[in-house]
Each structure stands twice: as C-alpha cells, then as structure tokens.
Amino acid sequence: MRILGIDPGLTRCGVGIIDVDSMRRNHFVHVAVIRTHPDLELPQRLLNLENALNTILDEFSPDVVAVERVFSQLNVSTAMGTAQASAIALVNATRRNIATHMYTPTEVKAAVTGYGRADKLQVTSMVTRLLALSQAPKPADAADALALALCHALRGVGQQRVSDFVTQQAKPVSPAGRS
C-alpha cells in the first residue's frame, strides 16, 4: 500500500510518501516540500500548488492520502492558507478516487511518538528511525508529511486498509469466461 502524507500549507506544503508491505513494514519512497511564492496572487499560488500535487499524484499513484486536519490558529491568514491547501489536496485525491483521511496534529504525534504533545524534534527523530533514514528529513514540513503517512499506516484504519489490500492482491484472477 502506498500512502501519501500531506502537511498542507500555502507557502510550504510538505509531501511524504511511504510504502507499507505485506509484513506491515514501512518503506520510504519520496519526500518534498512544494513552495509557492508569497508575492504571487492567491489564485496563482493555488494553481501552482494544485499542479505540483497533481504531478505527485500522477507520478507516485498513492492508494490513500493522509492530510493534516486544519485546527484553529491565532493567525487567521495562516489558517486560511492551510485550509485552502488542504482543500486542493482532498479534491484532487477524490477526483482520482483515492481514499482520503484527515488527522489532527495530536493524533499524528501520538501515533508516531506515543505522546500527543511531542515536539517537532521528537516527531522528526521518530520519523527518521521508523523509516530507517540516514538523515532527518528537512525542513519540518517534510518530516511532518512523512509523519502523517506513518500515522495512517500505524493507526487502526491504516492497518485495516493494509490487510484489505494484501487480501485483494492475494486473490487469484479467474480466466475470462470462467466462473
């Protein structure tokens, strides 16, 4: 199963991709940060983000997309940009019939570190360990995107989807015209 984690943001949008094999082991595939320039008009920034996300969806063909759920922040403009980036990710995945799931930052931290109030350094450290990376993913948006993918893999819904995927792959295909 291929999971795309998205840490949404209008200026910096983290994307992290992992594969989960039939033994439920996590494997690093790709990580990047999509950037849009703050001097561009909002519609152009959103279009640039959409184009970049579509390229990633096309290139890596994830089975599921995990997006960080927008939560209330003191800075309304930051929250709006995050919500807009989330919407683009969710709509584009849905257009491709890719399942989407949203997780709060607390859920992600708890799944990856075992502690819902872990700091960014702890999350990055666990992402690095869980994916056996030679170095920590940078910037934080990249590590957060991989943490979202890992959260989905580690939570019950992720485990169930992995089991369903493995079962589906193991079914023999009957020849055409036979029952």
Per residue in 119-140, pLDDT (tens digit) is 999 999 999 999 999 999 999 9
Q: What is the pTM of this model?
A: 0.87
**Helix residue spans in 4-100 (DSSP H):** 42-60, 76-95
Annotation says 68 is catalytic: yes
CATH number of 2-160: 3.30.420.10
Say what percent of the chain tops pLDDT 90.
Answer: 77
Active site residue 41: no
Q: Where are the domains of the chain?
A: 2-160
**141 given a catalytic annotation:** yes
- Read off the pLDDT of residues 4-13 as tens digits, 9 standing for 90 and up: 999 999 999 9
Q: Which helix (H) or strand (E) holds 106?
A: helix 105-113
Segment holding 6, helix H or strand E: strand 2-7
pLDDT band at residue 169 under the 50/70/90 scheme:
confident
Indicate which residue of 39, 41, 63, 141 is catalytic: 141
